[in-house]
Structure 1
Amino acid sequence: MSAVLTLAAWGLAGASLAGMGYQTVAVRHLRRFLGGPRPRPSARPAVSLLKPLCGNEPHLAGNLRSFRDQDYPAVQIVYGVADADDPALSAIARDGDASSDDRETIVVDPTGHGCNLKVGNLLNMLPRAHGEVLVIADSDVRVEPRYLDDVVAPLADPSVGLVTCLYVGRPNDGLWSRIGAMGINHGFLPSALVARAVGRHDGCFGATMALRRETLDSVGGLAPLQDILADDWALGAAVRRGGLRITLAARPVDIIVHEPDFGSLFAHEIRWGRTIAAVDRTSYMASVITQPVALAALAVLLGAMAWPFAGVLLAACAVRLWAIRAEERALVLPRAGLPAVALRELLSFVVFIVACCGRTVIWRGRRFTIRRDGTLESKEGIPT
């Protein structure tokens, strides 16, 4: 048995070394991406911005204001809620009264469409959108004035069917919001760039999805997504099946990370992990390579604390900390303390393990099971 454990420890140590190499590649691609050009669109077609809302989350009024303040000539903003008493409406009012002309439209419609409430909201909003280009952006997103130029410019290429945005986590007050933002900034964001560098061009992210109206019509619209949790991934897959490409906007957007407690953060990240694992389990399992510290720590435990494995662990800690500091500088982020870095590393590995071992998720107080095709099965819909 000891020989088997030692062999496993060497395997984990080797995986950790590979993970250290991954960290250096991720930093290089992040720097290259952020330093790239920001092309201006050759044309500026009319845009409809679709903002599905549910609840008055922190900083919502400021997020919405950033979309109103676009340096773009023809923009219609469509806000959508399912309930006339939704407090998100007060955030719109605080930011300035939405006009009744073609520039801003509020849709209040309780009509249900499947399990995915966001997609149901969008289906109710879509008939009121008039633009040639449709831009769907989540409520927690905050953008720069050049945002629409960034997402419209790639659509001048007829081979591009959808433009999406990477995102940087900007935490609300509190420890768990900071830990959640670190998971985005030092986990998701560099991993998405490495994935594209190795040929994975299927990433599509709900922070922004921009496409021509004719493209959306050609792939069957939004109705096929109404029971899919990963609606962004499914829309991107539909566009790719239609023979068109997904590309990234030249700059990431910000998302406001609000996690009031550990339970909220854990449920949120388990939902993310299980959603990815449901639609692409092989890639999700392979993503363990992005966690060299955890792999090296396991090697130390299985290898009976032998010095070669302890050396690998020390090297993994040093490389991972170097990568985090480099990413903080590139993204102009505040420097995280070492206890927060350690907590984030531990939580990332726990989330990975738990997400691999189940399909149940909690979403807006309702319990669902994610089927193997990514669709949702409601489990009683009871509050939790």
Structure 2
Amino acid sequence: MEQISILYSLAMVGLVWYFAMWSIGLLGCFAARRRYRSRPRSPLSVAEPASVPGVSILRPLKGLDTNLYENLESTFKQEYPTFEIVFSVADEGDQALPIVRELISKYPNINADVIVGEEVVGVNPKVNNLIRSYRQATNDILWVLDSNVLVDPGTLARSVDALVGSSSSPTRKNIALVHHVPFAFVNESQLGSRIEEAFLNTNHAKMYIAINTVAVESCVVGKSNLYRRSDIERLNGSLKRRNDQAGGEDAQSEYGLHVFGRFLAEDNMIASALWHELGQRHDLSCDVAHNVVGNMSLSDYIWRRVRWIRVRKHMVLAATILEPFTESVMLSVIAASSLSVLLGFPPWIFLALHFTLWLLVDLDVYASLAGHSLPKESAYGFIIAWAAREILAFPIWLLAIFGDEVVWRGKKYQVLRDGEVRHSSSSGWLASCSKWFRKGKDLHDYERIESPTDIRLDM
């Protein structure tokens, strides 16, 4: 009897957990509907230049990312009265430079510049690339955009609205950072590219939006972030509430962007520092960051997921350990077993209902972000990629959880406490596996999308 009682108790816990995860997923779905299905034009887009805060758009570059020309050109087309663009590359031989210079010549009325040469302040190459443009920027508000991101013309105006518009409300904390959920777009037939697209546009977006709707903790992806330099200059990366009093430990700390050069996920750490050190909050605008995915093989996709799981493990261990139990496959096993024990419900019927409903919710999230339903001609391939993502989630997590080395942009790092990294020179099993698996074209091969209007830019 005692064993039966324990079994029933576990089954009840399993069902409670299952419905809790469904609640989070539905929250993300409904929040996506509310936020992204209407993108009104901001009044700042037609305001007088003197009446709006200036913005410096920082775009660090390395090599020829897929669709690079259109990605960078989208920043020149922003409907905002006063902004500048500062591009940065590490060396004069970078292949992105001719494209940048062509765009600067094409848009002579836009205040744009390019900085050549990095300043090494840590192991993170993106921070090293950014630091000089960060210091040169003439405005306090900075918009940092990855090179593989394309944005709609109204994005900047709506983002500034979100950043400064809430500060006058006495009932809300100040917004220190505005970010955008990634929405993947692919023009490749590679399996890894398709799985990445399915992941970012469904499960990732759903959970990302839900967590930011609840807003109990920082959760930010650094594809497209808007924040104030004056706030960054008050951060030291400790994630401890800042003591503004003179003296003490704070007086011995360094502050500013350069202190985040020791982290691999500098974007997440900056967001967390704004949250914890300054006690400020984040907001999502109603725009997405069109993440143009390049030629990604299946092994590229797997090792990309492994990399970020290993980084998260050292930043939020408990959440990373629980991650498999939030995925559809594991949840279906838990709930099917629980219902079988409690009600004798046939598992195969439950599994069919579970995955059908889970897919429908994910497709609804896709429709909210895209502004249209999944096209019929690509539905079959998308659903196959979606199913592959769900099936691979647990094996990838197992591969990632037992290890601390990652490969990023051809360099190997060891992940340390709190997500800090150091260069690794070992030639262990990770390097061997990665070398064996990685074949095919370089991820940074440049390919222009033939019909960029298919992304449905809001004009």
Common fold: TM-score over 0.5: yes
CA distance in 1 between partners of 2:411 and 2:202 (Å): 29
Query: CA offsets, 1:5-35, max 9 Å, x none?
Result: 9987886566445444443333212111214
Partner of 1:261: 297
Moved more, 18-27 or 276-285: 18-27
Partner of 1:378: 423
Q: For residue 366 of structure 2, what is the amino acid of its counterpart?
A: E
CA distance in 1 between partners of 2:406 and 2:176 (Å): 31
Instruction: Work out whether 1:152 is the aligned partner of 2:160.
Output: yes
Counterpart secondary structure, 2:226? strand
Instruction: Work out whether 1:242 is the aligned partner of 2:278.
Output: yes
Query: CA offsets, 1:272-291, max 9 Å, x none?
Result: 22222321122233343432
For 2:139, which of 125, 131, 142 is the aligned residue? 131
Counterpart secondary structure, 1:255? strand
CA distance in 1 between partners of 2:113 and 2:204 (Å): 33
Q: For residue 403 of structure 2, what is the amino acid of its counterpart?
A: G
Tell me by how many angstroms 1:124 deviates.
2.3
Moved more, 85-94 or 281-290: 281-290
Instruction: Work out whether 1:213 is the aligned partner of 2:234.
Output: no
CA distance in 1 between partners of 2:310 and 2:396 (Å): 9
Query: CA offsets, 1:198-240, max 9 Å, x none?
Result: 3334122211221223222232220110010111111112222
Instruction: Work out whether 1:336 is the aligned partner of 2:372.
Output: no
CA contact (8 A) 1:9 1:300 kept: no
CA contact (8 A) 1:171 1:180 kept: no
Equivalences for residues 273-312 of structure 1 within 5 A: 273-297=309-333, 308-312=346-350
Tell me by how many angstroms 1:270 deviates.
1.4
Partner of 2:352: 314
Equivalences for residues 65-76 of structure 1 within 5 A: 65-76=73-84
CA distance in 1 between partners of 2:111 and 2:338 (Å): 62
Partner of 2:194: 178
CA distance in 2 between partners of 1:173 and 1:114 (Å): 34
Counterpart secondary structure, 1:58? coil
CA pair 36-98 structure 1, distance change in 2 beyond 3 A: closer
CA distance in 2 between partners of 1:21 and 1:217 (Å): 38
CA pair 361-126 structure 1, distance change in 2 beyond 3 A: same
CA pair 99-193 structure 1, distance change in 2 beyond 3 A: closer
Tell me by how many angstroms 1:103 deviates.
1.1
- Normalising by structure 2, we get a TM-score of 0.75
Partner of 1:116: 124
CA contact (8 A) 2:55 2:142 kept: yes
CA distance in 1 between partners of 2:85 and 2:145 (Å): 11
For 1:367, which of 412, 429, 433 is the aligned residue? 412
Counterpart secondary structure, 1:251? strand
- Normalising by structure 1, we get a TM-score of 0.88
Partner of 1:28: 30
Higher Rg of the two aligned structures: 2
CA distance in 2 between partners of 1:316 and 1:293 (Å): 9
CA distance in 2 between partners of 1:302 and 1:247 (Å): 38
Counterpart secondary structure, 2:363? helix
Instruction: Work out whether 1:323 is the aligned partner of 2:361.
Output: yes
The count of aligned residue pairs is 383
Cα root mean square deviation, aligned: 3.0
CA distance in 1 between partners of 2:415 and 2:153 (Å): 37
CA pair 167-260 structure 1, distance change in 2 beyond 3 A: closer
Query: CA offsets, 1:174-203, max 9 Å, x none?
Result: 232121011111122110111123333412
Counterpart secondary structure, 1:252? strand
Tell me by how many angstroms 1:350 deviates.
2.5
CA distance in 2 between partners of 1:215 and 1:98 (Å): 34
CA distance in 1 between partners of 2:93 and 2:228 (Å): 32
Gaps of 5+ in 1: none
Counterpart secondary structure, 2:346? helix
Q: What fraction of aligned residue pairs are identical, expressed as a percent?
A: 25
Tell me by how many angstroms 1:353 deviates.
3.0
CA contact (8 A) 1:16 1:316 kept: no
For 1:168, which of 170, 180, 183 is the aligned residue? 183
Counterpart secondary structure, 1:113? coil
Partner of 1:225: 260
CA pair 48-202 structure 1, distance change in 2 beyond 3 A: same
For 1:56, which of 50, 57, 64 is the aligned residue? 64
